[in-house]
Amino acid sequence: MTLKARIHTELNRLASLAGTNSVPQLLRIDTGDGHVESELTTIDQLACAFNRFAYKTDKLANSTIDELKDVANSLSSQLGYLLESISPVEIDDEACVVQMRSNPPEKDDDGTRYYELVVARGELTLLRYCKPPGQPRAIVAANVTREVFERLGEDFVDTVA
C-alpha cells in the first residue's frame, strides 16, 4: 500500500472516531526510517484541518546545511498546491536549520496568514500562522483538502528519500 493510501485510510479511521475522541487527534504513519505525524483538528469527507504536520526521519539526522538547503529548495518547487509560494527566509548555518515561509504571506482585512516550514536535522515541520490586526501572532489550523493532505505526506517523504 502506498503512503498516500495509508494516510487516506488513517484519515477515514480518525474521522469515524471524531465523535467519540477529543480533538486534536494525532495521525501517525510509520515510514520505515521515520514517521509522518499530524495534529488534526477537523476531518470531514473532503477536507481536514491540522495544527502541525511533520515528518521525522533519521535520514536527516546528520545532514549538512547544504543538504538541508537542497531539501528546502526541492520542497519549495513542489508545494505549489498549497496555493502559497513557500521559500527559504532564514538559513542558520550554525544550528543547521532552514526556515521557509509563504512569500508573500496572505493578507486581507482579517490579518496576515502564512505557512512556516522548518527544515531541520531530523525533521520537517509545517505550521500555519495567523496575525490578526492588533493582536499577537498565533498558530492556527491549516485547512486543506484530503487530497492535499495526503500529497503533503508523500512529498515530504519522497523529497528526503
Partner 1 sequence: MTMSLKIERDKNRFRQIVRGKVRENLRRYINHGEMIGRKGRDLVSIPLPQLDIPHFRYGQNGGGGVGQGEGQEGQPIAKGDDEGEGTGQAGSDAGQHIVEVDVTLEELAEIMGDELELPRIEPKGNSTIQQEKARYRSIRRVGPESLRHFKRTYVEALKRQVIEGDYDRQKPRVVPIKDDQRYRSWETTPEPEANAVIIYMMDVSGSMTDDQKAIVRTEAFWIDTWLRSQYDGVECRYIIHDAAAKEVDEHTFYHTRESGGTRISSAYRVCSDLMDRSFSPDEWNVYLFQFSDGDNWGEDNRQAMELLNEKLVTRSNLFCYGQVESPYGSGEYIRSLEQTFGRDHEKVVLSEIEDKDAIFESIKHFLGKGR
110 binds partner 1 (CB under 8 A): no
Among 74, 78, 112, 125, binds partner 1 (CB under 8 A): 112
Measured over the CA atoms of residue 13, residue 14, residue 19 and residue 22, the dihedral's sign is positive
What are residue 65's DSSP bridge partners?
A: none
Considering only the stretches 25-33, 38-46, 52-60, 100-108, report the one whose residues sit in contact with partner 1 under the rule CB under 8 A: 100-108
Nearer to partner 1, 2 or 109 (CB): 109
Nearer to partner 1, 80 or 104 (CB): 104
Among 29, 47, 131, 140, binds partner 1 (CB under 8 A): 131
Nearer to partner 1, 3 or 120 (CB): 120
104 binds partner 1 (CB under 8 A): yes
Among 61, 80, 81, 137, binds partner 1 (CB under 8 A): 137
How far is residue 16's CA from residue 91's CA, in Å, rounded to a whole number?
41
What's the chain look like in SS3? CCHHHHHHHHHHHHHHHCCCCCCCEEEEEECCCEEEEEEEEEECCCEEEEEEEEEEEHHHCCCCHHHHHHHHHHHHHHHHHHCCCEEEEEEECCCCEEEEEECCCEEECCEEEEEEEEEECCEEEEEEEEECCCCCCEEECEEEEHHHHHHHHHHHHHHHC
121 binds partner 1 (CB under 8 A): no
108 binds partner 1 (CB under 8 A): no
Report in angstroms how near the CB of residue 9 gets to partner 1 at its nearest. 35
Number of residues that bind partner 1 (CB under 8 A): 21
64 binds partner 1 (CB under 8 A): no
122 binds partner 1 (CB under 8 A): no
